[in-house]
Amino acid sequence: MLTSAADELTHVGYTLMEVTFGEEGSSLVERGERFSPFMTDHLMRRLNGTDSDMLRRLFEETVERCIAQGLVGGEAFAVDASMIKADANRQHSVPGDAWMPPDDPGHAVRDYLSVLDHAAFGAATPVTPKFIATADPASRWTGANGGLAFFAYSDNYLIDLKYAFIVDVEATTSVRQAEVGAAHTMLDRTEARFRLKPERLAADTGYGDAANLAWLVDERGIEPHIPVFEKDRTDGSFGRGDFTYNALADRYTCPGGRELRRYWQDSREAKAKPPTDGLYRYRARKADCDACDLRQRCRPGEAGRKVLRSIHEPAHDVARQIATTEAYLISRRERKRVEMLFAHLKRILKVDRLRLRGPYGAKDEILMAVIAQNLRKLAKLIPMPAPAVA
């Protein structure tokens, strides 16, 4: 039986070397010593809270070990994000539009200022947060979990579905755009680093917007096993699904049997430019609608009926078709493994609140946690050597 972290690490093939201070471990790694380094204290001074990629290299080493043991299939991945509370609270915050950097900023503020243009943090959304924490301004005030709002970072996992090993991880601000962007970053990085490119990707509706599906299908050739995110009418009137699209003619047919077209005049079609918001508009003839018995149900309060179609709709159609297959049902079940890893992270490893501040602190603390998660699983899956016979 493995009784300690040291036993587990030795069992999966690491050579252990004990250091007393963070600086000592850091200098050994930076000198390029040929041994397998690993830190057991995630608060070791100067081994965290920096933009050093040392922890990332350690994490990638765990993934390489999993690949070498044949425990990563590389065919099916799942991606998801979970919010983790930041070490910040409402009492020490200011309204988002009133925040100013202090004259003598600490490392968390300096790190926040350095990622203001980063897609995973400051540039993820133009929306000013309601509150900004003075101690950790990069954490995001969010009520997206449905309960009381709090300051948080998002922990993004990309896992291989064979044994649910984490093949990449990213810390971002807690907004959906940043989480979708992190999924792209992780898929590209995993392909570049390990030559792993999945045939299918499982995720929840948060990743089912048109632009993301188009990126997966058209640019990366990955099957999106993702429910399509669509806004539809909730007032009882006819929704998008009641209109039939004819791809050859590029027209919709309404429940009343009439056509909806993007252009009713050839001269307008000739001058048309791509829509700036990515949505084509198909309109019925006003005369058809005025004479229609279904108009009360079809266009309540509207002058004429129109249907919007994304320029990425073909990728939507691919995802909708996949959602009717047996493989999709399997993916939907398998993607729960990411949620189980988040539950393990928070309930067993007790990482339900970050202890390090700033975007780099969050990144490092999350990297340390996934290194531990991968190694624990590796230790369980690698068979124990047979006891020596006396």
* Footprint on this chain of ligand SF4 (rule: CB under 6 A): 254-256, 258, 284, 288-289, 292, 294-295, 298-299, 305
C-alpha angle 41-45-49 in degrees, rounded to nearest 5:
95
CA distance 146 to 255: 38
Q: How far is the CB of 232 from ligand SF4 (least distance, A)?
A: 15
**228 or 284: CB nearest ligand SF4:** 284
Q: How far is the CB of 243 from ligand SF4 (least distance, A)?
A: 8
**152 or 289: CB nearest ligand SF4:** 289
Q: How far is the CB of 94 from ligand SF4 (least distance, A)?
A: 51
**96 or 239: CB nearest ligand SF4:** 239
Distances (CA, A) of 41 to 178, 231, 298, 299: 29, 47, 63, 63
Q: How far is the CB of 282 from ligand SF4 (least distance, A)?
A: 10
**158 or 292: CB nearest ligand SF4:** 292
| Radius of gyration from C-alpha coordinates of the chain | 26
**225 or 299: CB nearest ligand SF4:** 299
381, amino acid identity: L
Q: How far is the CB of 308 from ligand SF4 (least distance, A)?
A: 14
CA distance 265 to 236: 32
C-alpha angle 228-232-238 in degrees, rounded to nearest 5:
130
- Residue 272: count other Cβ atoms within 10 Å of its Cβ: 10
- Beta bridge partners, 160, equal 77, 165
Q: How far is the CB of 256 from ligand SF4 (least distance, A)?
A: 3
Q: How far is the CB of 283 from ligand SF4 (least distance, A)?
A: 9
**299 or 335: CB nearest ligand SF4:** 299
**83 or 298: CB nearest ligand SF4:** 298
Structure-token match 């940043």, residue found: 178
CA distance 190 to 157: 12
CA distance 137 to 301: 45
DSSP character string of 340-365: HHHHIIIIIS--SB-SS-HHHHHHHH
**304 or 314: CB nearest ligand SF4:** 304
Reported as type and span, the H/E element at residue 25 is helix 22-30
Q: How far is the CB of 272 from ligand SF4 (least distance, A)?
A: 22
Residues contacting residue 114 through CB under 8 Å, at least 6 positions apart: none
**78 or 284: CB nearest ligand SF4:** 284
CA distance 152 to 172: 10
Q: How far is the CB of 289 from ligand SF4 (least distance, A)?
A: 3
Backbone dihedral angles phi then psi of residue 283, each to the nearest 5 degrees: -120, 145
Backbone dihedral angles phi then psi of residue 335, each to the nearest 5 degrees: -70, -15
Is the sign of the CA dihedral 160, 166, 170, 172 positive or negative? positive
Q: How far is the CB of 234 from ligand SF4 (least distance, A)?
A: 18
**258 or 377: CB nearest ligand SF4:** 258
